[in-house]
Amino acid sequence: MSAILILAPAIIAGWPAITAAVAGAAAALGMNMAKEAREAVKTPAKTDKITSVELDMAESEVLESSLTGNEEIVLSKADMSVRIHRDEYGQLRFHVDGKNRSKTELEEFGRQIVEKVTQTYIYNRVVTELKQRGIEVQQEEVTEDNTVHIYVRNILE
């Protein structure tokens, strides 16, 4: 072993790459990706109480050149929905709505999605960049703690 690095992730990408990461995260978390989800939460019964929280992704930047004016993704699961969009500062923002849920529950749910989107984005980027450089991925595995392990080999001639 000659070096060990610990790196903090940053998402600096165009909207298509972010959409791909969100789609992957949604599939992994068993969430639906549809606009109807937002509608479902926005038309509650009179007895329902809708609670909302906002989460941002500090180390993120959605590249302006990739925007077409319709950058919003809505995910849903049971009685909760998450709207993911680019805020006025160019960062990714997660707006979480839930029926009869506490703010703590929604924050926890939102944080889980933020983390999964980050992990999926980084995975996609690592694999794509290594492939582009001709570095061979030998093996991949996901351990019980949901850490993704990628083993690669680089041969220099």
Q: Which of 10, 23, 29, 40 binds another protein (CB under 8 A)?
A: 10
Cβ atoms of 117 and 22 closer than 8 Å: yes
Task: Work out how close the CB of 96 gets to another protein at its nearest, in angstroms, rounded to a whole number.
Answer: 18
Backbone CA torsion sign across 85, 88, 93, 97: negative
Q: Facing residues of 141 across strands?
A: 149
The helix or strand, by DSSP H or E, that contains position 16, with its residue range, turns out to be helix 15-28
Q: How far is the CB of 43 from another protein (least distance, A)?
A: 34
> What x/- string results for residues 76 through 115 when contact with another protein is judged by CB under 8 A?
---------------------------------------x
Exactly one of 9, 14, 16, 90 binds another protein (CB under 8 A); that residue is: 9
Q: Which of residues 39-68 bind another protein (CB under 8 A)?
A: 59
Residues 124 to 153 in contact with another protein, rule: CB under 8 A: 125-126, 129, 133, 135, 145-153
Contact (CB, 8 A) for 51 and 103: yes
Least distance between another protein and beta carbon 103 (Å): 21
| Interface segment toward another protein; rule CB under 8 A; list 3-11, 32-40, 88-96, 97-105 | 3-11
Here the tokens at position 146 are 């949901």
Tokens of 45: 């019964």
Residue 142, strand partner residues = 148
Query: Which residue matches tokens 């791909």?
Result: 20
- The angle formed by the CA atoms of residues 79, 81 and 83, to the nearest 5 degrees, is 170
10 vs 40, beta carbon nearer another protein: 10
Binding site for another protein (CB under 8 A): 1-10, 59, 115-116, 118-119, 121-123, 125-126, 129, 133, 135, 145-157
